[in-house]
Amino acid sequence: MGRGMRPTVAWTEGEKGPCVQLLDQTRLPLEEVVVECYTVEELCDAIKRLVVRGAPAIGCSAALGMALAARLSTAGTGEELLEELRRARDQLAATRPTAVNLFWALERMMKRAEDVSSAPPAAITLVLIAEAQLIVADDLARCHAIGEHGAELIGERANILTHCNAGALATSGYGTALGVIRAAHSAGKQVHVWVDETRPLLQGARLTAWELMKEEIPCTVICDNAAACLMREGKVDCVVVGADRIAANGDVANKIGTYALACLCEKHGLPFYVAAPLSTVDLGIATGADIPIEERAADEVCNFSGQRTCPAGVRAYNPAFDVTPHELVSAIITEHGVIRAPYADSLQAAVARNDQNRSAIMPQRPAQGNKHE
């Protein structure tokens, strides 16, 4: 995590029983409140309400949700437990459609359960709790690796513009886009961050600025529509953003407004970098045109902090994400290095290397995770 920050997502077993703890991002930056989810239904509701958000953090939460489903189960056989886990997987999968890390984590947990399905339910549960905690630790390790690789792209003095929040709050800790910025800052580079406010929910102004202030990294919040002016005045050296899904050809789905920044970078001759773990790459989707884009409630646009900001009855269109074409992406920063075009080839090769060399980044499974296999 960042300095002085509570964990974004964590597993705990207290007096009330097992639960998934989430730092409530709807309450930041004014309050630091931890939401405790004691059922899969409560966790699904928290994901839908953006208590937890950011593709890697959603994936970690879903993995812990599968562990919670197993821990709460009273199934008498491994097969009965698998049926309950499949229902939990379907519930969690229905929460948000765009972030592929959600589905990646659910399938990894389901496969792990199937691998040990001949064991008693209690033993399967221990394996799944260990696997979920491993996914959380794995994400943190990958974020640090992304930061190290990305920092090499940042100049000794740099004004970096970022959009939405791709920091510790969007991951299990450290962050992807903010991981790059953190690593550059830690390396002694003189960085300053322009923080897009990111309408309509202000994840940049509320969350990214909050993280950067805690890390004492110089930053300035700007309205989303100020980016072009800053670029024309030579006050931006590069843009670094995260991603919720990357298609096989390198098209990138990220928070709405990202595509506009990429177009502005092309106009002004600036590099546009995407920082994301390889779990965000979806080789099963050929292009960004096939990425499902979540449309959220109009009230998020027409209201803010409980106050109406639009005329009553007016319609609002609220896509949560947009797609940036691969030709506008200068590089994709991953835990295994910096990937460049042609992305159709380089992404496929990187994913294949990742599958072969997971142990190079991923922490090893604890011994208790293997004894029931």
The CA-based angle 266-235-196, given to 5 degrees, is 75
Inter-residue contact 131 to 112 (CB < 8 Å): yes
Inter-residue contact 196 to 228 (CB < 8 Å): no
Q: Which of 138, 139, 237, 244 is catalytic?
A: 244
Inter-residue contact 191 to 122 (CB < 8 Å): no
Sheet with 157-162: list strands edge to edge: 219-222, 190-196, 157-162, 238-241, 272-275, 331-334, 337-339
45 is known as an active-site residue: no
DSSP letter string over 109-146? HHHHHHHTTTS-HHHHHHHHHHHHHHHHHHHHHHHHHH
Inter-residue contact 208 to 236 (CB < 8 Å): no
**Backbone φ and ψ of 319, nearest 5°:** -70, 135
Distance CA 227, CA 236 (A): 9
**Backbone φ and ψ of 274, nearest 5°:** -115, 125
* Nearest alpha-carbon partner for 339 in 275, 256, 266: 275
Distance CA 184, CA 238 (A): 13
Distance CA 65, CA 44 (A): 9
Per-residue b/e over 273-310, b at no fewer than 16 CB within 10 Å? bbbbbbbbbbeebeebeebebbebeeeebbeeeeeeee
Report residue 8 CA to chain centroid gap: 11
Q: Any bridge partners for residue 307, and if so which?
A: 304
Give the catalytic positions in this structure.
Answer: 244
